[in-house]
Amino acid sequence: MNIQLSEHFTYKKLIRFTLPTIITSIYGVVDGLFVSNCVGSDSFAAINLIMPVIMITGAIGFMFGTGGSALVSKILGEGDKEQANKIFSLLIYLLIGIGIILSIIGMIFIKPIASMLGAEGYLLNECVTYGKTLLIALVPFFLQNCFQSFLVVAEKPQMGLKISICAGVVNMVLDFLFVYAFKMGVFGAAIATGISQFVGAIIPFVYFIRKNDTPLRLIKTQFDGKAILKVCTNGSSEMLTNISLSLVNMLYNMQLMKFAGADGISAYGVIMYTGFLFTGIYIGYSIGTAPIIGYHYGANNTDELKNLLKCSLKMIGIVSVVLTILAEITARPISYIFVSYDSNLIEITVNAIRVYSIAYLLSGFNSFISAFFTALNDGVVSAIISFLRTLVFQTISILVLPTIFGLNGIWVALFIAEILSLIVSLIFLIHNRKKYQYA
């Protein structure tokens, strides 16, 4: 039975409604697993070195998805279905055009960027190969992420789950064939990812362009500068988050190269890939609840806003404790899965995961509160939280703490940044409680 945005959400309904976006956010560990075990630690380090650059180019897709879904769900809550569809269609068409332009620019500058990040020789060639191949598939990457948000708005999260599983299976099968069987290295891994993103983009595109039983459909539209500005404002926090995290990842890599060499970058790569499994739950939940919050905000249903905030904070509190304990317990098995071929690298990675994972206690609250304000169409507050959390606090921690604690200072940097961010998040949450009447 489908759950509608207008319903009252219990804990059970929230879990059922957001589960598809949670699963969507956590399956992207396949490339790293195959490359590390089938190609080697240097190639694994290469894809971790260049991946932040790909994520920066993809930030606009996340901005349109989160900011657009918040605005469209609010308009649906106000009862204007035609305007909601016009804005939805405009965003998708505009995203395709922007993706093509950024793809071309990215392929031109990928080599000097990789060189600037410290890659040279074999590492540089691997970075360029992986980066260029993924940039060819930038438009599908944009659309896949954007459609996942809008499938929730369309009250079809289960469809989003099926599409995500389909794309994930394609990625895994092709990784096995291209990387393991055909020995195509990072090129094969990138092709597998690109094809899976195309699958994740084309299915919802075809669905929305035809008549369907949801509130959303791709139709003829016209440029609306005011709506685009609102979408960019709403989604600016998510764009800033992706750009900031990518820049911070580059800084991590630079510091790790200084303190631990390529082994440090490989260990951080394992953290990033396993982090998809842990923080992906928070991100998926935040994306899944945003249209619900936006709808009830547009409908002026303050009682349901209070309910959504209370239920969400309670569930995140429980899940954060469980995930942190799980990360600590599984640190060694996870390390063996990725880097079993190097005993020294295993020990570095185990220690890194155990120190780094303490941050999972707090990161869920910060992710949700930022997304909560995006859903309320308050992009300024959301952007401030995201900017301080993902760029300012982490940058300071990464630069300062290693001078005091050495390599462990790099691993604990995120936890310190999350503490400072939670203070800021709670200040905004308390300050705006009367304005939005959610508490």
Distance of CA 136 to CAs 33, 125, 142, 221, Å? Answer: 22, 17, 12, 27
DSSP states of 389-421: IIIIHHHHHHHHHHHHHTHHHHHTHHHHHHHHH
Domain ranges of the chain: 11-436
Q: Model pTM?
A: 0.76
3-state secondary structure of 39: coil
Average pLDDT per block of 10 residues along the chain, 439 residues long = 70 75 59 77 81 82 84 91 95 96 94 87 92 95 89 85 86 92 93 93 96 93 92 78 79 84 81 78 83 88 93 94 94 87 86 94 94 88 88 92 92 95 96 90
At 40-63, the pLDDT tens digits run 778 877 887 888 888 888 778 878
Question: Nearest 5 degrees, angle CA 167-CA 172-CA 174?
Answer: 95
Helices (H), 357-392: 360-375, 379-387
Helices (H), 58-137: 59-78, 81-116, 122-136
Side chain identity at 89, as an amino acid letter? S
Give the Cα separation of 219 and 231 in Å (integer): 19
Q: What is the largest CA-CA distance in the chain?
A: 61
At 154-212, the pLDDT tens digits run 988 788 878 988 888 898 899 999 999 999 999 999 999 999 999 999 999 999 999 99
**Backbone dihedral angles phi then psi of residue 107, each to the nearest 5 degrees:** -65, -30
